[in-house]
Structure 1
Amino acid sequence: MLKKRILTAVALLVLLLFLIYADHFLDIYVVRILNVCAIYAILGLSMNLVNGFTGLFSLGHAGFMAVGAYTTALLTMPEATKQQIFYMAPLIKPLDTLTLPFPLALVLGGILAAFAGYLIGAPALRLKGDYLAIATLGFGEIIRVIFTNTQSLTNGALGLKGIPAITNLYWSFGTGLVTLVILLSLINSSYGRALKAIREDEIAAESMGINLAKHKSLSFVVGAFFAGIGGGLLGNLLGTIDPKMFTFIFTYNILLIIVLGGMGSFTGTIISAFIFTIANEVLRFLDERIDLGFVAFDGKVGLRAVVFSALLMLVVIFYRHGLMGTNEFSWDGFLKHPWWKKWLPRPKRPLPGGGSNS
């Protein structure tokens, strides 16, 4: 137990040193990508709780992200900025003069997203499988349409601009770490075991005394809360948001992350969030002109998505249950199966003749 705590403390220290180095020495573009990686990890963790650990096929994540993003943005924007962008219709009171600290605004955004998740989950969680997916997808689109048509609350289709760029590496990675700790604590509790039982067999779980409605709602609300947190971080990172950002495509990207990492694995979700975000940027050159010196190609818009999708198909073919399946990283496994030792230099052994052999 002491060895695990020491290793955890060392890992956290290494992460902190990396964040300090990245914040001071890395390019702004690279820092932005790292922020997006951490935010996508938060969104993937929240969706994996619902889809992977509880077995609910939900596709309404973009709607909860929109609630969190708009709430956090409106509560952190200065009064002068609000008056400047709400020229079609004035912002409703008391939001027109209300400005809160970023942590409080972020939590309130998550709470409102959780409340929206509860309202949506109450009727939708009576459904199963594809019917639940269609219902949650519809509710997510309803939220987006409402935000498009509430001029005095969300500025309608014009969106919000001038949002304070508060999100940085410490906020995104710190919030991601807190999210991981909370969700791991939930999964390793009796509630988590009940959620896994529901995923495996609802009828058997109910026969054992598990309240299906209560535990499904719990999973849905907690997932919506952290989706709102992720949306709030994203809005205050980009500095501008509009309803078109939160379409089904956004939910699809998050779903892709958890499928790639493994349904029911938080470790896989974090790994795939970084792979997905970084690979999506690395392949951006496919949409532009490619000049190899001896030959040049005109890039095609959308070619990046084609190549990226083909690579993902190959990964899914060879890793049918995702990169991690349902496995999680643990210090016990890391120490018992030290695959990493093969990368360390091996000491030279003396030979009988006085020489040495590696």
Structure 2
Amino acid sequence: MEWFDNFWSVYSNLVLTLGTNALLALSIYLTLSCGMLAIANAAFMGIGAYTSALLTMNYGLPFPLVLLAGMAAPAFMAFVIGKPTLRLSGVYLAMATLAFGEVVRIALLNTESLTGGALGLNGIPQSTQWWHVALALALTLALLWRLNRSKVGRAFESIKEDETAAGLMGIDVAAHKMLAFVLGAAIAGLAGTLNAHLTFFIGPSEYGFDRAVDILTMAILGGIGNLTGPVIGAVILTLLPELLRSFKDFRLVVNGFILVLIVLFLPKGIWDPARFTQWFGRKGSRA
């Protein structure tokens, strides 16, 4: 298996990044499935990454505890800010959560004694192994699959379709929104923890506006109709820059052009089971 060893030595970080990006896409899928355009996932990722890195570097805690702390810190922060912000909806919620992301980024920049400021944290132990990422992704998919088929998942769908009608049917809209927001933050923190202990280095610029837009694009690109879509979107958006390296300076232009085409011609994302069913139905009727 020499070819595999060579492949893994070169592309192992890229393969594991596919997994962490898939977790990020699933984290925002959860809030979108409840009808919330909350774009704080990059900030939650940063909180998880910094919390876990500081606990590892300063206190030498074992990796399992660090993973739990990296999920608990952003989940707690989501609960705190969720009380006032989740009363908003639509673009106002998006603006509020983006503002929170900027607050987190600026706080990381200005607490140099703790976070390293603009220089970030370097020399984080590489504790993340391939099976950590695979297990985290598998458990997250299993949890969300089970959630979608539960009473809570049906409540999420009702809130997404019509929040007022859901409330009139006896659904606790505020509690379900908070659950989706906090759980999404925990998943984003998990991705941040795994990524921080994979790349050796983290800095405030990694968790700003650009990362927030990337996470949202992954979910929208793949489609938010089911769990498969965000994972496909994460894979495509992670691999696309690598596949377009031959375009050199025009790589970002081609990348953006491809994304625009997909949004224009596939508004429900690449993975749309209803479209596939319709297409195969037409093909079968012709046969």
Q: TM-score w.r.t. structure 2 length?
A: 0.92
SS at match of 1:265: coil
Q: Label 1:135 to 1:23 Cα distance change in 2 as closer, same or farther (>3 A).
A: farther
The residue identity in structure 2 corresponding to 1:247 is G
Deviation per residue, 1:17-41 (Å, 9 max, x gap): xxx9997452423211111111100
SS at match of 1:160: coil
- Which residue of structure 2 aligns with residue 83 of structure 1? none
Matched, 1:277 2:238: yes
- Distance in 1, Cα, partners of 2:47 & 2:225: 26
Matched, 1:69 2:30: no
Point out the more displaced range, 148-157 or 243-252.
148-157
Structure of higher CA gyration radius: 1
Give the aligned length: 280
CA deviation after TM superposition for structure 1 residue 61, in Å: 1.0
- Which residue of structure 2 aligns with residue 193 of structure 1? 154
CA deviation after TM superposition for structure 1 residue 141, in Å: 0.8
- Distance in 1, Cα, partners of 2:99 & 2:9: 37
Deviation per residue, 1:326-358 (Å, 9 max, x gap): 76x9xxx9xx99x9xxxxxxxxxxxxxxxxxxx
Matched, 1:242 2:203: yes
Assess if the C-alpha contact under 8 Å between 1:22 and 1:31 holds in 2: no
Assess if the C-alpha contact under 8 Å between 2:42 and 2:215 holds in 1: no
- Distance in 1, Cα, partners of 2:6 & 2:163: 51
Matched, 1:310 2:257: yes
- Which residue of structure 1 aligns with residue 36 of structure 2? 56
- Distance in 2, Cα, partners of 1:55 & 1:140: 20
- Which residue of structure 1 aligns with residue 95 of structure 2? 134
Matched, 1:229 2:190: yes
Assess if the C-alpha contact under 8 Å between 2:47 and 2:73 holds in 1: yes
- Distance in 1, Cα, partners of 2:66 & 2:158: 35
The residue identity in structure 1 corresponding to 2:125 is P
- Distance in 2, Cα, partners of 1:325 & 1:205: 25
Deviation per residue, 1:296-342 (Å, 9 max, x gap): xxxx2xx2111011111112222120012376x9xxx9xx99x9xxx
Deviation per residue, 1:89-127 (Å, 9 max, x gap): xxxxxxx4x111112101111110101111121110000
2:76 to 105, 109, 115: 115
2:27 to 42, 46, 69: 46
The residue identity in structure 2 corresponding to 1:71 is T
CA deviation after TM superposition for structure 1 residue 201, in Å: 0.2
1:94-243 alignment runs, 5 A limit: 96=58, 98-243=59-204
- Distance in 2, Cα, partners of 1:270 & 1:132: 24
- Which residue of structure 1 aligns with residue 18 of structure 2? 37
- What 5-or-longer segments of structure 2 have no aligned partner? none
Point out the more displaced range, 118-127 or 198-207.
118-127
Two-structure CA RMSD over aligned residues (Å): 2.3
CA deviation after TM superposition for structure 1 residue 199, in Å: 0.3
Q: Label 1:162 to 1:22 Cα distance change in 2 as closer, same or farther (>3 A).
A: farther
Higher RCO (Cα < 8 Å, 6 or more apart) = 2
- Distance in 2, Cα, partners of 1:28 & 1:251: 29
- Which residue of structure 2 aligns with residue 6 of structure 1? none
